[in-house]
Amino acid sequence: MYRYDEFDHAFVAARVEQFKDQVERRLSGELTEDQFKPLRLMNGVYLQLHAYMLRVAVPYGTLSGRQMRKLGHIARTYDRGYGHFTTRQNIQYNWPALADIPKILDELAEVEMHAMQTSGNCIRNVTADHFSGVAADEVADPRPFAEILRQWSSLHPEFSYLPRKFKIAVTGAEHDRAAIQTHDIGLHLKKNEAGELGFAVYVGGGQGRTPMVAKKIRDFLPAEDLLSYTTAIVRVYNLHGRRDNKYKARIKILVHETGVEELTRQIEAEWQALKESDLKLPQGDIDAIMTYFRPPVLPERPEGWGALAAAKKADAGFAAWVDQNVTPHKNPDYGVVTISLKPIGGIPGDASAEQMELVADIAEKYSQDEIRVSHEQNLVLPHVALADLHAVYELLLADGLATANAGLITDIIACPGLDYCALANARSIPVAQRISERFGAAERQAEIGELKIKISGCINACGHHHVGHIGILGVEKKGEELYQITLGGSADEITTVGEITGRGFSSEEVVDAIEKIVDTYLGLRTSKEENFLAAYRRVGAAPFKEALYGPVSRAA
Amino acid sequence: MSEATEQNGKHFPEKQLWGREGFRDDPYIEAESLEVAGDAPAVILPLAAWLGLDDDVRRTSNRRIGVFVAPGESIDPLLDKLDTVPLIALQFPAFNDGRSYSKAEILKGRHGFKGELRAVGDVLVDQVVFMLRAGFDTLEVTNPVALKRLSASDLRDTPGYYQPGRGSAKTAGGFSWRRTPAA
């Protein structure tokens, strides 16, 4: 993984000093909250309902054991003993004191971490496939390019005051686990016929109150042009994106209002002027960054094949966990382990200090000192030998981290909602918890199969409800929390925005409504192989609406 | 600029001009047209008024005639006349309106504008480094904290930058990753 050199260390240290100075000016009253706001936002500090919140960047979701242990230490020392992993592969702390935040940043800098650009109208932490570098279906590891983008975008002089936040995601596989088509820029790393690396470039995806699927504006951009082309896109956006209305300020609105053809023309024209500039990436630069991401040398562990089979036979719980939470590694002696942060009835994405420390220990001993954070708010151990799976499982089980539900109905994405967030209209976490409890039985989840439920507590859609197979949106109506349901959303290589079923449901009704939808699916699927999304795409919304609102209802 | 400040009803007696070497006198006055500028030796006109001047007037005038560009105005009509502009003032109506950064980059980076590029408007200390790196030569400053910090040359800069850029003596001349990775 990427390691800081002297330059990175000095840069982050100076940035901590800058922010320390700004916090002191705020605490002394020299800066008003209004003046302080954009500065704290550049450093990941939000003001929420009850307290400041600090969001720490985990570039493309990759962490070492030492870094994870530090995150646990911060949770224990400066927060209430836990942290919350987010849909942008970051971690946020909900209860730090403002005066402590410079100290936290100092501690993060010790382990090559920071909180820059996790908020504010700048280029945010670049995300990538959480199975990067290990997935059997990958063309190339996208993280070196995410790292190049991270460096290029850090305190970018031209792009630190964009019309609105700007999110970039990169995937290196045909099957998109990074939801690139819901991003401002989505990059699909691939090879052309000559075997050269480049990107399909998507622009203008986003969620929020106006969900849009990104448009592909280039099928193959040579890797050397990554920064010049990205600069062209962001420059056109910076100059022409709307600044009169923050809800219309994302690039998706510019794409929509300008038209994708005209906007592409402007981007290409800008790019022609930049193409041969010093933004062009020489192969030597790309190679230098790639060396940081060289796959670890994994010893042969063929004994795992037999050991795994035996352990599965002997331990049904282990067998279920392996089947659900372990996915194929490029090396057949190894597996990729998803650590579910979705215990039945728990808070999606939360991890305690002890759990973080445990994961750090396991990663050091069993996963080449590497951990990933997924945008689905789980953790990943990317390199576990099949022979070690049972030992890892036992360790995880002891601390409530072995829930066998990756990709199942209880693997729910939820935003913090009204329990924390100043923007929310409704609570998200309690709804997630009740759904999780309703469907928590292992046999029932397995019977239902792959089903992604995503819950947002307001139209800003941080819980990605638009792209949930089942999406739940909390709204406020006449002082009451109401939940609107959408169906058929998806954020993979065929990204779709879910359709609203009809009138919303009260907090009491919503879990029953979800159950009706699930039962309807179970009743109409052609076989167990036809998952919820496939069935929905085949039959459409009608049977589900009928189940929810009755045959006579004209709800739409 | 004069238009904007008048519209805001603000009056800034302590307005000062700062460049990399420190505070300096500002020979320019702002005026809506040459006619109302009297015999001032250096004038900044709004973009429309500047473009309305005869090429001859711009080339042969014995005074310097700069141009003020608001963020919503296009710099395209200026691009083939850059050799006749001694000063371009790009406005930041609010510090978080970042359009003028891109224009600075285009003017200085792509078109090699040789005149004075000036940032005017809501110029705060926390953006000074970005402005210098985007290519601004001078900053028109009214904010008291910014004035204080600039007087003390206290910019709280980082020791290097990840991007190539003008304006920093400390730039090693390239991307950080062009250095040999640490072993």
Reported as a single tens digit per residue, the pLDDT across A15-28 is 999 899 889 989 99
Say if A127 falls within a structural domain.
no
pLDDT of residue A422: 86
User: Could you list the residue range(s) of the whole structural domain that residue A482 is in?
Assistant: 425-549
Closest C-alpha to A77, from A347, A353, A349: A353
Exposure letters A291-304 (e unless 16+ CB within 10 A, then b) = eebeeeeeeebeeb
Are A202 and A258 spatial neighbours (Cβ–Cβ below 8 Å)? no
Supply the pLDDT for residue A317. 96
Is residue A297 assigned to a domain? Answer: no
Q: Is B16 a member of any domain? A: yes
Residue A34: which pLDDT band, with cuts at 50, 70 and 90?
confident
Determine the Cα–Cα distance for residues A98 and A36; give it in Å rounded to an integer.
12
The residue in chain A having the minimum alpha-carbon distance to the alpha carbon of residue B99 is A239
Q: Give the number of beta-carbon pairs within 8 Å between A and B.
A: 110
Residue of A210, A204, A199 lying closest to A172 (CA atoms): A199
* Gap between the Cα atoms of B137 and B158, Å rounded: 19
- In chain A, residues with a C-beta closer than 8 Å to the C-beta of B157 are 14
Other beta carbons less than 10 A from residue A398's beta carbon? 10
Q: Which of A16, A161, A166 to substitute to test the interface with B, most B CBs within 10 Å?
A: A161
Q: Which position has the higher pLDDT, A133 or B154?
A: A133
> To the nearest whole number, what is the mean pLDDT of chain A?
95
| List of residues 6+ apart from A516 with CB closer than 8 A | A547, A548
- Which stretch of A6-10, A87-91, A392-396 has the lowest confidence by average pLDDT? A6-10
pLDDT band at residue A97 using 50, 70 and 90 as cut-offs = very high
DSSP-derived letter for residue A467 is G
Over residues A1-13, the mean pLDDT reads 88
A281 with A308, same domain? no
Query: Average of pLDDT values for A497-521?
Result: 97
User: Is A527 domain-assigned?
Assistant: yes
Q: Per-residue confidence at A285, pLDDT binned at 50, 70, 90?
A: confident
| Structural domain count of chain B | 1
Q: List pLDDT tens digits, range A307-335.
A: 999 999 999 999 999 999 999 999 999 99
- H or E segment at A185? strand A185-191
| Number of domains comprising chain A | 4
Asked if A22's CB is within 8 angstroms of B179's CB, the reply is no
A21 contacts on B by Cβ (under 8 Å): 156
* A309 lies in the same domain as A167: no
A30 Cα to chain B: minimum distance (Å): 8
Residue B167 lies in a domain: yes
Q: What pLDDT sits at residue B92? A: 98
Interface residue ranges in chain B relative to chain A, Cβ cutoff 8 Å: 95-99, 101-105, 110, 124, 126-127, 129-131, 133-134, 145, 156-165, 167, 174-182
Q: Is A384 domain-assigned?
A: yes
SS (H, E, C) A98-162: HHHHHHHHHHHHHCCCCCCCCCCCCECCCEECCCCCCECCECCCCHHHHHHHHHHHCCCCCCCCC
Nearest-Cα distance to chain A for B106, in Å, is: 10
Nearby residues of A443 by Cβ (< 8 Å), 6 or more positions away? none
Cβ–Cβ gap B102/A17 under 8 Å: no
Domain co-membership, A158 together with A287: yes
Maximum average pLDDT range among A278-287, A452-461, B34-43 = A452-461
Whether B102 sits inside 8 A of A239 (CB atoms) is: yes
Q: Which residues of B touch A161 (CB under 8 A)?
A: 95-98, 101, 127, 130
Q: B157 is written with which tokens?
A: 């800069």
CB-closest option in A25, A31, A288 to B177: A288
Tell me the average pLDDT across A256-283. Answer: 95
Answer whether A166's CB lies under 8 Å from A122's CB. Answer: yes
What CA–CA distance (Å, rounded) separates A373 from A359?
Answer: 12
pLDDT band at A552 (very low <50, low <70, confident <90, very high): low
Query: Do the chains contact at B174 and A278, CB–CB below 8 Å?
Result: yes
Residue of A nearest to B149 (CA): A21
Chain A residues touching B162 at Cβ < 8 A: 11, 151-152, 154-156
* Cβ-based contacts of B177 with chain A (< 8 Å): 148, 151, 285, 288-289
With beta carbons under 8 A apart, name residues in chain B contacting A288. 177-178, 180-181
d(CA A243, CA A250): 9
Tell me which of A291, A322, A357 is where a domain ends: A291
The pLDDT of A145-170, averaged and rounded, is: 95
Same domain, A329 and A457: no
Q: Is residue A212 part of a domain?
A: yes
- Domain boundary at A398, A416, A443, which? A398
Those residues whose C-beta lies under 8 Å from the C-beta of residue A125, and which sit 6 or more positions away, are A57, A58, A59, A60, A88, A89, A90, A117, A118, A150
One domain, residues A333 and A464:
no
Average pLDDT over residues A512-535: 98
Chain B environment of A289 (Cβ under 8 Å)? 177, 181
Question: Could B176 and A8 be called an inter-chain contact, meaning their C-beta atoms sit closer than 8 Å?
Answer: yes
Predicted local confidence at residue B1, as pLDDT? 39
Per CB-CB distance under 8 Å, the chain A contacts of B119 are none
Q: Per the structure block, which two tokens stand in for A106? A: 């100092």
Chain B closest-CA separation from residue A17 CA (Å): 8
B152: CATH: 3.20.20
Q: Which residues of chain B have pLDDT under 70?
A: 1-13, 165-183
C-beta atoms of B176 and A7 within 8 A:
yes
Domain limits at B43? 2-178
pLDDT at A479: 87
8 A C-beta contact, residue B30 and residue B68:
yes
Residue A365 lies in a domain: yes
- Looking at the structure, tell me whether residues A218 and A246 fall in a common domain: yes
CATH of the domain at A54: 3.90.480.20
Cα of B125 to nearest chain A Cα, Å: 11
Assess whether A143 and A225 both reside in one domain.
yes
ipTM above 0.90, yes or no: yes
One domain for residues A192 and A277 = yes
Res. A362: pLDDT tops 90 = yes
A275 to chain B: nearest residue by CA? B110
Q: Could you tell me which residues come within 8 angstroms of residue A394 by beta carbon, excluding any fewer than 6 positions away?
A: none
At B7 the pLDDT is: 37
Residue A19 lies in a domain: yes
- In this predicted structure, the answer to whether residue A174 has a pLDDT above a threshold of 70 is yes
Q: What is the pLDDT of residue A554?
A: 53
What is the distance between the alpha carbons of residues A391 and A397, in angstroms, rounded to a whole number?
10
The answer to whether residue A89 is domain-embedded is yes
| Contact (CB<8Å) B97/A243 | yes
Quick one: A363 and A482 in the same domain? no
pLDDT of residue B175: 57
pLDDT at A39 over 90: no
Looking at residue B181, what is its pLDDT? 32
Task: Identify whether B183 is part of a domain.
Answer: no
Please give, rounded to a whole number of angstroms, the shortest distance from the CA of A399 to a CA of chain B. 37
